[in-house]
Structure 1
Amino acid sequence: MRGRTLRAVDVVAEALERIGRADPVLCAFLEVWAEDALRRAGEVDARVAAGERLPLAGVPVAVKGRHGLRAAGPLLAAGGVAVGATSVPGPGTPWQTWGLGAHGRTVNPWRADRTPGGSSAGAAVAVAAGLVPLATGSDGAGSVRIPAAWCAVVGLKITGGSLPSRDRTGLAAPGVLARTAADAAAWWAAVRPAGADRAPAALPVSAVWSPDLGFARPDPEQVALARSAAGRLADAGTVRLVRPSRPPALLDPAPAWSALRTPGADRSGAGRVRAGNDRRLDALFAGADLLLTPTTPTAPHGHEGPGDRYSTALTWAFNVSGHPALSVPAGFGADGCPAGLQLVARHGREDLLLAVAREAERRGATA
């Protein structure tokens, strides 16, 4: 589009046609803004014709929930075109892995009898199904990374507090779901705050593997898929796996996370857990650049709910600590459902996460 071989209005019209054809089955969208999107695409074409260099010129973007457009300003300024609001859990939904779209319950594009994960449910489905190349998300306990893993896309949660968030607890951070790490990097380039770390990554970088963070109970298949993905990263020369003197062992963040989310709760225990894990993570990152884990403890569950294990077991520690984290596709289980590998870095090192994932994709090391 920047080279004027395509028009933004045509690209957006094609995206709207795909949404119209697929969404009655997938239920990924709450609202589709066809008229506004085509108008905005025409404005992008006019800006390009006037000589503006727009890094996301005409790229169709989906935003999370009906209020997601409020945070999409940098994307629109870069030439992106918001085409609609993606599904999130409905009112009173007990499990945040559900999504409820305009046409009904959001389904996993790989198996309709399974959940896509959540709460950025529709965002992950819209990207995985090729309806849009980018969808915004927010991640308060794993709400970007879990659906990314279960829909076989890339999901980035940025460093806590680095961009504005409506969550007063400080647990939630903005994020993105994309088909590739390069697309996620394009989103980050458009929204990154002034002064964010731009240090180039010299690959391979050192990485520590942990199947369970010392407290979780992941299924063996999820561990095996993620460990194989970590091995592929090492074989491709993007990471160098190192063995620490002690296996990573964090404190279970579940009580701390719950206390921080509950008005009036005693937060003294949460403070101790947060401080304890911060010390352990500081020590880990003093000796390695990345921490690698499975993204989820289980495969996607059915629409009736997750049973007795939260899908957040391996993700929400990094909402409490604020570290940036990225989920990349790790392969498929025996049930045909995707799994993810989670990469965690020091605060402010989103560029490192994206550089490793981009190079792994280039070398064919991701699923």
Structure 2
Amino acid sequence: MQAGRLLRAGCVPIGTTSVPGPGTEWKTWGATARGRTANPWRTGLSPGGSSAGSAAAVAAGMVPLATGSDGAGSTRIPAAWCGVAGYKPTTGLLPARDRSGLTMGGPIARTVGDLLLYREAVLGAAAPPAPPGPLRAVFSADLGFAETDPEVAAVAEAAARDLAEAGAVALEGPGVRLRDPEREWRARRSPTAAGVPPSDDVRSDRAENDRALSALFARADLLITPTTPNRPHGPDGPGPTMSTALTWLFNLTGHPAVSIPAGLCRDGSPVGLQLVADRHADALLLAAARLCERGRPWPVLAPAPVAGGGGPSPRGG
């Protein structure tokens, strides 16, 4: 559906991009039937996934916008690791793309302005007005359960504080403590899930997370987190770290979320900042992301990539 609406709006298709190969499920280590997909910032790193090729194409300057699908973070994670923006709409705004109802189509783009153009073309929604003042925001590095890399957490928190200093948000406390959604996500995606009632543990997790998020969005406009708990890994995978730990909850709850660039780790790899809003508050979410972009601009293209260690070098021209 999203591709057809974009074509009718005048978008020009350039090609198709890489997704995980057979047997890799949603876990994109950059390996596909056409070989490894390189991260435009660091060619030895994964671009994230599963919409790996879309994010790499946008970050490398091949296209200003690419489509993806997000069932656990698959537009937000590659956007974060490739230093661009990725948006998962509120569940139900577009038809779900899998039987579990978790996967939503969404865009990856260089700028929030281009995300808004996608929203206008695909969802028929005009660009939202700027919020009248700083948005109330709560920052959490781990949502109460994730094992977030301290450097990733520091980069994300510094970005959130920069946004507060720029007047885009007003950071408030306390943070939020949620339950790890892994067992609910796996239960929903299980091939045998159809017609099987969830376990008591899964129902308890969902009820507690719904309660905590309802309380949070009663006092705040935005929840801000790192997009992933880890930095981009190599093609062999992240080991025991779940790159989806901070994203897949919002596929289960249906909340809209966007990833924007937060900054770089010392090794030059990008870190994403995830903004989450209440269900159906997509207009506010993207207006907030645009405020953040204006208050803290980011590069619209990856610099000349680095093959091994060290940070990126400036792109000539």
TM-score by length of 2: 0.88
- Which structure has the highest helix share of the two? 1
The two structures, once aligned, show a CA RMSD in angstroms of: 1.9
Corresponding residue number in structure 2 for 1:51: none
Which one-letter code corresponds to 1:251 in the other structure?
A: R
- Deviates most, 319-328 or 350-359: 350-359
Equivalent residue, structure 2, for 1:353: 285
Cα distance change, pair 355–198 in 1 and its aligned pair in 2 (3 A): closer
Query: Which of 131, 143, 167 is equivalent to 1:201?
Result: 131
Query: Paired residue for 1:168?
Result: 99
Count of residue pairs brought into register by the alignment: 295
User: Does residue 257 of structure 1 match 2:185?
Assistant: yes
Q: Structure 2: how far apart are the matches of 1:361 and 1:94?
A: 33
**Who is 1:218 aligned against?**
148
SS in 1 for 2:14: strand
Query: Is 1:343 the counterpart of 2:271 in the alignment?
Result: no
Whole-angstrom CA distance in 1 between matches of 2:214 and 2:129: 20
> 1:152 matched to which residue of 2?
83
CA distance in 1 between counterparts of 2:169 and 2:120 reads: 23
Q: 1:262 to 1:197 in 2, by over 3 A?
A: farther
Gaps of 5+ in 2: 300-317
Q: 1:182 aligns with which of 102, 113, 125?
A: 113
Q: In structure 1, how many angstroms separate the alpha carbons of the residues matched to 2:26 and 2:2?
A: 25
Q: 2:218 is paired with a residue of what secondary structure?
A: helix
Query: Where does the alignment leave 5 or more consecutive residues of structure 1 unmatched?
Result: 1-69
Match of 1:139 in 2: 70
Q: Give the Cα–Cα distance (whole angstroms) in 2 for the partners of residues 183 and 203 of structure 1.
A: 23
User: How far off its partner does 1:366 sit?
Assistant: 4.8
Q: Give the CA deviation at 1:71.
A: 3.5
Per-residue CA deviations over 1:85-124 (Å, capped at 9, x if unaligned) read: 1110001125612344564210111111110000000000
User: Is 1:312 matched with 2:218?
Assistant: no
2:225 maps to what in 1? 293
Select between 262-271 and 127-136 the one with higher mean Cα deviation.
262-271
Larger relative contact order, structure 1 or 2 (CA cutoff 8 Å, min sep 6): 2
Q: 2:58 corresponds to which letter in structure 1?
A: V
Call closer, same or farther: CA 1:130–1:101 in 2, change over 3 Å.
Answer: farther
Distance in structure 2 (CA, Å) of the matches to 1:198 and 1:276: 32
Q: Which amino acid in the other structure matches residue 177 of structure 2? A: A
Q: CA–CA distance in 2 between the matches of 1:153 and 1:124?
A: 7
Q: Which residue of 2 aligns with 1:62?
A: none
The one-character-per-residue Cα deviations of 1:129-187 (angstroms, maximum 9, x if unpaired) are: 00000001111011111101100000111111211122111111111100001111111
1:76 matched to 2:38: no
TM-score (norm 1): 0.77
Work out the percentage of aligned pairs sharing the same amino acid: 58
1:197/1:124 Cα in 2 relative to 1: closer, same or farther (>3 Å)?
A: closer
